[in-house]
């Protein structure tokens, strides 16, 4: 396995902002706070990430759709808990030209209340269920916390939201499990480690019965919520009176779920694998898999360039996404720096000496190690390197996170760890909300919730009330 690299020497937030703009991913200088521009290279990364999500959802029986951006206030207000939570975060459209609107419109902060009125018209009988829809759109939230590029936007320019409808509670429960599995697959494919926690009741999505969340650990020791799955029960169905005719002829309200991954799903990949030299992209999402850089020498320019062209087209024919960097105005060193910053997984250098020996020099972006390889075998080398990089990126990120998940059974230990942002801390907990609240205050950190997917029995006593623990609960500093 590759040697574990030092993560960051810069402050993480600063690293992230800098790398986004320097690598041509997102320009955050648009004159509206919380809005940014997905630049050409970033857009290609974004597309590759979204293709994975689309593939997973499509194969699991979801249909992609596109619903309107504007929500009449009357719709938004229909589910009480939902409107209470979101109305203060909405951007409002109040005028059409010079005319004041009779009913103002919200720019969607999310789309339950956009979709619900349509479901009411579309769903008639059990034969129409289940219905699984998704869309990839921008949503708007007037965030009051500090905005950050991609991570906390006011115009969330990448928001994948799925909405499903079911005939029974059991079926919607089952869908929650499926959604969690799909998201696990997604983060596994891009090599991002996570913990999955059932959020405490006070931190669930507004209008949901409960929320299951994916959190990742950032290099500064703070967690970032990178995806959520909500069981909405019949709350929205009742608020919008969405019913279907059951097999026995009776009318019943449908059961719904929703789950979302935003641009944070892309940020997560950049954060999990990046280093001081820039981003490091897993081949599956890299717009360019391999860059070929000529390292010419006086009198040998022609031959070196020709060899580079040959290698590049051979790789292209084999299906790799290839860049041949024959820019005259840059030194090879400048080019190395340029492509490292952009996270291209593999670099191939060819100089006069390589030519003489019939080899190429291959450099892995994740380890920056150089190896020589027979020029004739360059295609199979690429295949090996690409799968090694994919495997090592994931394994390194995982071991890095695992070392930072602590299981402790005293409040003072938890406090000390959290104070120095050591990572995610798990402590025994009795399961009572009140103890969860007190714990948050006592350690001055965020309660992520408890792991729902373990059958492990927990020894010990709740750190707050001293009663027998039923589970562990996770706490961390959070974004
Ligand atoms: N309708 C549901 C399911 S899509 C919903 O809106 N859920 S959510 O509020 O939890 O948002 C889904 C995900 O979007 C969150 O898990 C979080 O990772 C991400 N997200 C939330 N707010 C922002 C924001 N301001 N900028 C970027 N991502 C965000
Ligand atoms: Zn307790």
pTM of the model: 0.96
Q: Is 211 buried (19+), middle (13-18) or exposed (0-12) by CB count in 10 A?
A: buried
- Site to probe by mutation for ligand 1, drawn from 262, 265, 449 as the one with most ligand atoms within 8 Å of Cβ, is 262
DSSP tag of 461? B
Regarding the beta carbon of 90 and ligand 1, being less than 6 Å apart is answered: no
Tokens standing for residue 14 = 């600063």
- CA 443 – ligand 1 centroid, Å: 26
- Please report which ligand is nearest the Cα atom of 212: 1
Smallest CA-to-CA distance from 329 within 318, 338, 321, 320 is with 338
Regarding the beta carbon of 143 and ligand 1, being less than 6 Å apart is answered: yes
Regarding the beta carbon of 112 and ligand 1, being less than 6 Å apart is answered: yes
Regarding the beta carbon of 262 and ligand 1, being less than 6 Å apart is answered: yes
HEC profile of 277-329: CECCCCHHHCCCCEEEEECCCCCCHHHHHHHHHHHHHHHHHCCCCEEECCCCC
Work out whether strand 70-72 and strand 99-107 pair parallel, antiparallel, or are unpaired.
Answer: antiparallel
Regarding the beta carbon of 161 and ligand 1, being less than 6 Å apart is answered: yes
Regarding the beta carbon of 205 and ligand 1, being less than 6 Å apart is answered: yes
| Distance of alpha carbon 187 from alpha carbon 208, whole angstroms | 24
Regarding the beta carbon of 82 and ligand 1, being less than 6 Å apart is answered: no
Regarding the beta carbon of 325 and ligand 1, being less than 6 Å apart is answered: no
Which residues have CB atoms below 5 A from the ion given as ligand 2? 430, 432, 435, 462, 464-465
Residue 7: per-residue pLDDT: 64
Query: Could you tell me which residues come within 8 angstroms of residue 346 by beta carbon, excluding any fewer than 6 positions away?
Result: 289, 290, 291, 362, 363, 364, 365, 382, 385, 386, 389
Residue 122: count other Cβ atoms within 10 Å of its Cβ: 13
Looking at ligand 1, which residue's alpha carbon is closest to its atom 10?
228
- CA 11 – ligand 1 centroid, Å: 25
Tokens standing for residue 264 = 């944070």
Residue 170: count other Cβ atoms within 10 Å of its Cβ: 10
Regarding the beta carbon of 226 and ligand 1, being less than 6 Å apart is answered: yes
| Distance of alpha carbon 239 from alpha carbon 324, whole angstroms | 58
- Please report which ligand is nearest the Cα atom of 152: 1
Regarding the beta carbon of 225 and ligand 1, being less than 6 Å apart is answered: yes
Q: State the DSSP H helix or E strand holding residue 339, giving kind and residue range, or none if neither.
A: helix 332-341
- Please report which ligand is nearest the Cα atom of 138: 1
- For 383-410, the DSSP string reads HHHHHHHHHHHHHHHHHHHHTTEEE---
| Distance of alpha carbon 425 from alpha carbon 109, whole angstroms | 31
Tokens standing for residue 290 = 């391999």
Contact (Cβ atoms closer than 8 angstroms) between residue 66 and residue 36: no
Regarding the beta carbon of 260 and ligand 1, being less than 6 Å apart is answered: yes
Looking at ligand 1, which residue's alpha carbon is closest to its atom 23?
152
- pLDDT of the chain along its 479 residues, tens only? 333 445 666 788 899 999 999 999 999 999 999 999 999 999 999 999 999 999 999 999 999 999 999 999 999 999 999 999 999 999 999 999 999 999 999 999 999 999 999 999 999 999 999 999 999 999 999 999 999 999 999 999 999 999 999 999 999 999 999 999 999 999 999 999 999 999 999 999 999 999 999 999 999 999 999 999 999 999 999 999 999 999 999 999 999 999 999 999 999 999 999 999 999 999 999 999 999 999 998 888 999 999 999 999 999 999 999 999 999 999 999 999 999 999 999 999 999 999 999 999 999 999 999 999 999 999 999 999 999 999 999 999 999 999 999 999 999 999 999 999 999 999 999 989 999 999 999 999 999 999 987 667 788 999 999 999 999 999 999 99
Looking at ligand 1, which residue's alpha carbon is closest to its atom 18?
226
Query: Could you tell me which residues come within 8 angstroms of residue 165 by beta carbon, excluding any fewer than 6 positions away?
Result: 119, 123, 129, 130, 131, 132, 242, 254, 255, 256
For residue 211, give the ligand 1 atom closest to its CA: 10
Q: Where are the alpha helices (DSSP H) in 139-203?
A: 169-189
Phi, psi dihedrals of residue 362, rounded to the nearest 5°: -110, 130
Regarding the beta carbon of 354 and ligand 1, being less than 6 Å apart is answered: no
For residue 261, give the ligand 1 atom closest to its CA: 13
- CA 28 – ligand 1 centroid, Å: 19
Q: Is 307 buried (19+), middle (13-18) or exposed (0-12) by CB count in 10 A?
A: buried
Smallest CA-to-CA distance from 361 within 375, 380, 348 is with 348
Tokens standing for residue 90 = 């909405």
Which residue is it, tokens 């041949």?
Answer: 324
- Classified as helix, coil or strand, 416 is helix
**Whole-number CA gyration radius for the chain:** 25
Regarding the beta carbon of 78 and ligand 1, being less than 6 Å apart is answered: no
Separation of first and last alpha carbons in the chain? 31
Contact (Cβ atoms closer than 8 angstroms) between residue 425 and residue 432: no
DSSP β-bridge partners for residue 92? 106
Residue 297 CA, chain-centre distance (Å), reads: 44
- CA 465 – ligand 2 centroid, Å: 4
Which residue is it, tokens 């955050």?
Answer: 28
């Amino acid at each position: 396995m590759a040697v574990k690299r030092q993560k960051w020497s810069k402050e993480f937030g600063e690293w992230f902002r800098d790398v986004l703009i320097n690598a041509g991913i997102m320009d955050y200088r648009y004159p509206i706070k919380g809005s940014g521009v997905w630049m050409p290279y970033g857009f290609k990364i974004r597309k590759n990430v979204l293709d994975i999500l689309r593939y997973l959802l499509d194969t699991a029986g979801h249909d992609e759709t596109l619903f309107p951006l504007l929500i009449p206030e009357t719709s938004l207000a229909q589910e009480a808990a939902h409107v209470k939570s979101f109305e203060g975060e909405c951007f409002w459209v109040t005028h059409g030209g010079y005319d004041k609107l009779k009913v103002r419109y919200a720019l969607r902060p999310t789309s339950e209340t956009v979709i619900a009125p349509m479901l009411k018209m579309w769903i008639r009988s059990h034969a129409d269920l289940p219905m699984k829809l998704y869309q990839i759109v921008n949503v708007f939230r007037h965030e009051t916390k500090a905005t950050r590029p991609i991570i906390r936007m006011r115009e969330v320019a990448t928001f994948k939201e799925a909405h499903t409808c079911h005939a029974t509670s059991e079926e919607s429960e089952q869908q929650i499990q499926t959604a969690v599995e799909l998201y696990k697959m997604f983060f596994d494919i891009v090599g991002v480690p996570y913990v999955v926690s059932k959020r405490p009741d006070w931190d669930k999505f507004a209008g949901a019965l409960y929320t299951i969340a994916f959190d990742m650990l950032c290099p500064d020791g703070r967690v970032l919520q990178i995806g959520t799955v909500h069981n909405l029960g019949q709350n929205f169905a009742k608020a919008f009176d969405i019913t279907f005719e059951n097999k026995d002829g009776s009318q019943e309200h449908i059961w719904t779920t929703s789950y979302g991954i935003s641009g944070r799903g892309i940020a997560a990949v950049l954060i999990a694998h990046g280093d001081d030299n820039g981003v490091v992209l897993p081949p599956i999402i890299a717009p360019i898999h391999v860059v070929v850089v000529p390292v010419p020498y006086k009198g040998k320019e022609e031959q070196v360039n020709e060899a580079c062209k040959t290698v590049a087209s051979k790789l292209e024919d084999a299906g790799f996404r290839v860049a041949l960097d024959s820019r005259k105005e840059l030194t090879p060193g400048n080019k190395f720096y340029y492509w490292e910053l952009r996270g291209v997984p593999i670099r191939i250098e060819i100089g006069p000496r390589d030519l003489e020996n019939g080899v190429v020099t291959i450099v892995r972006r994740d380890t920056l190690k150089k190896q020589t390889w027979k020029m004739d075998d360059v295609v199979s080398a690429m295949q090996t390197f690409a799968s090694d990089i994919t495997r090592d990126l994931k394994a390194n990120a995982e071991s890095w996170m695992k070392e930072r998940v602590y299981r402790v059974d005293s409040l003072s230990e938890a406090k000390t760890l959290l104070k120095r942002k050591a990572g995610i801390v798990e402590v025994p907990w009795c399961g009572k909300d009140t103890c969860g609240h007190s714990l948050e205050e006592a350690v001055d950190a965020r309660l992520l919730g408890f792991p729902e997917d373990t059958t492990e029995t927990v020894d010990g006593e709740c750190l707050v009330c001293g009663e027998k623990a039923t589970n562990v609960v996770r706490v961390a500093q959070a974004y």
